[in-house]
Amino acid sequence: MMRSPATNTVKKGLPDFSKKLVQASLSGKTNTYAIERPKWLMRGNRLFLVGRVPHRSSGGDWLGGAVIAVAWDQVAAYYVFDSVENYRKRLKMFATAKAKSEP
């Protein structure tokens, strides 16, 4: 993994998520984290995926627009969406299916 000393950003060997939305679940956690247009950064010798929380993705939208950093070594699984709109569409599909399955 090659880093630029000026910006401490990762240059090679990892997927380019910069025009995507990544939803990550962490080891041992039940909730997931949506990261809009994330970039790879090294901090304290650890690799992080850093971006923003998309608006209208969290309860009450109180985190929309906030910067989020997820340590890559803690990620158990992740999903890649082509856009925030695609992510929202999938969330709506999930909510509809969940509502239909509840008694």
List, for residues 84-96, the tens digit of each pLDDT value.
Answer: 999 989 988 988 8
The terminus-to-terminus CA distance of the chain in angstroms comes to 50
Residues 6+ apart with CB under 8 A from 56: 64, 88
Q: Is residue 78 scored above 90 in pLDDT? A: yes
**Band (4; pLDDT cuts 50, 70, 90):** very low
Across 28-32, average pLDDT: 91
Q: Is residue 1 scored above 50 in pLDDT? A: no
Q: Which residues pair with 102 in a beta bridge?
A: none
Task: Judge whether 85 and 59 are in contact, CB under 8 Å.
Answer: no
- pLDDT for the residue numbered 100: 86
Dist. CA 40–CA 58, nearest whole Å: 23
- pLDDT for the residue numbered 62: 85
- Cα→Cα distances 81→4, 18, 95, Å: 27, 11, 17
Task: Judge whether 22 and 86 are in contact, CB under 8 Å.
Answer: no
Q: Is residue 70 scored above 50 in pLDDT? A: yes
- pLDDT for the residue numbered 77: 96
Of 37, 48, 26, residue with least CA distance to 84: 37
Across 2-21, average pLDDT: 71
Task: Judge whether 73 and 43 are in contact, CB under 8 Å.
Answer: no
